Amino acid sequence: MVHSRIEPVVDSQLPREQAGFRRGRSTADQVTLLCQDIEDSFQDNEKAGVVYLDLTAAYDTVWHRGLHLKLLRTIPDRHMVKFIMETLSNRSFILQTSSGQCSRLRRLKNGVPQGSVLSPMLFNVYIHDLPDTASRKYGYADDLAIMLSQPTWKAMEEGLNEDMATLVAYLRRWRLQLSVGKSVAAAYHLSTREARRERVAR
């Protein structure tokens, strides 16, 4: 009920590059778009660089206060926003040690429930205001890639580094963590042999 009421409002405000759990959009769309953009860079005789970003426990680390602020900016119905936040804040947990001792009841201050039909939409709202970058973005829920093509390797690397600094600052502000070990950068060139020669000559 809640999902069906807020979906049209939320969907109309999500950026085009976010395809996660939206009607008529799929992962395949984003993969196809990325591949097409890389091929276009080949046609322009440019080098394409892509960074595939992985967020650590993305759904579990959504900051409730930050989400509340973004919901208020996105959904005009304040009563609905209050209901959603009350639903999230009413979750609690107890820690139990191997010896059977239990901690006191603690209330969760972060995260959206895994498996809930509402959680993907809430996460989309949480990251819908990713900062502008020179790189193009391709998102599907908590999966994100950025791509930049430039005439030279140096310009491409510098541009990607600048955009990554912008995105990392955003993630830190909203208490999301980038998994450095699982995030991958890749460079694409029409000719592998030519690419190696150009890299060596730098």
The pLDDT score that the predictor gives to residue 4 is 83
Which pairing describes strands 143-150 and 47-54: parallel, antiparallel, or unpaired?
A: antiparallel
pTM to 2 decimals? 0.84
Q: Which of 4 and 41 is assigned the larger pLDDT?
A: 41
The pLDDT score that the predictor gives to residue 16 is 81
Q: CA quadruple 68, 111, 175, 102: dihedral positive or negative?
A: positive
Q: What is the pLDDT of residues 133-188, one digit of tens each?
A: 999 999 988 889 999 999 999 999 999 999 999 999 999 999 999 999 999 999 99
Cross-strand partners of 51 = 146, 185
Q: What is the pLDDT of residues 44-91, one digit of tens each?
A: 999 999 999 999 999 999 999 999 999 999 999 999 999 999 999 876
The pLDDT score that the predictor gives to residue 200 is 45
pLDDT reading at 107 higher than 80: no
Q: How confident is the model at residue 192 (pLDDT cuts 50, 70, 90)?
A: low
154: tokens are 């140096």
Tokens 């190696």 correspond to what residue? 196
Tokens 């990392």 correspond to what residue? 168
Q: CA quadruple 19, 25, 27, 31: dihedral positive or negative?
A: negative
Q: Is residue 139 left, alpha or beta, with left meaning phi > 0 and alpha meaning psi from -120 to 50?
A: beta
Q: CA quadruple 135, 140, 141, 143: dihedral positive or negative?
A: negative
Using an 8 Å Cβ cutoff, are 160 and 148 in contact? yes
Q: How confident is the model at residue 193 (pLDDT cuts 50, 70, 90)?
A: low
Q: What is the pLDDT of residues 26-39, one digit of tens each?
A: 788 899 999 999 99
